[in-house]
Structure 1
Amino acid sequence: MNAHSTSDTSEAYIALGANLGDREQTLMSAIRMLDKQDDIEVIACSDLYETDPVGYTDQPAFINMAISVNTTLSPEELLGRMLEIENQLGRVRHIRWGPRTVDLDLLWYEGVEMNTEKLILPHPRMQERAFVLVPLSDVVREKSDNISCFVQTALESLDERDGIRRWKTCNWPDESALSEN
Structure 2
Amino acid sequence: MLAYIGLGSNLKDPKAQIKKALDSLNENNETKLINASSYYESKPLLDIPGPNYINAVCKIETKLSAINLLNLCQEIEDNQQRVRELKWGSRTIDLDILLYGEQVISNKRLSIPHPEAIHRA
TM-score under structure 2 normalisation? 0.97
Find the counterpart in structure 2 of residue 115 from structure 1. Answer: 106
- Cα deviation per residue 1:23-55 (whole Å; 9 max; x = unaligned)? 111110000011100010000000000111112
Distance 1:42 1:126 in 2: 19
> Structure 1 unaligned runs (5+)?
1-9, 135-181
Ranges of 4+ aligned residues in structure 1 off by more than 2 Å: none
| Structure 1 Cα separation of the partners of residues 46 and 109 of structure 2 | 22
Q: Retained in 2: the 8 A contact 1:18–1:101?
A: yes
CA distance in 2 between counterparts of 1:44 and 1:56 reads 31
* Matching residue within 4, 11, 14 for 2:2: 11
**What letter is aligned with 1:53?**
P
Could you list the runs of 5+ residues in structure 2 that have no partner in the other structure?
none
SS at match of 1:55: helix
2:33 is matched with 42
Residue 92 of structure 2: aligned partner? 101
1:74 and 2:65 correspond? yes
The answer to which structure, 1 or 2, has the higher relative contact order (CA under 8 A, 6+ apart) is 2
Q: CA deviation at 1:111?
A: 2.2
The structure with the larger Rg is 1
Task: Choose between structure 1 and 2: higher strand proportion.
Answer: 2
What SS is found at the alignment partner of 2:46? coil
CA distance in 1, matches of 2:22, 2:47: 26
In proportion to residue count, which structure has more helix?
1
**Normalising to structure 1: TM-score of the pair?**
0.65
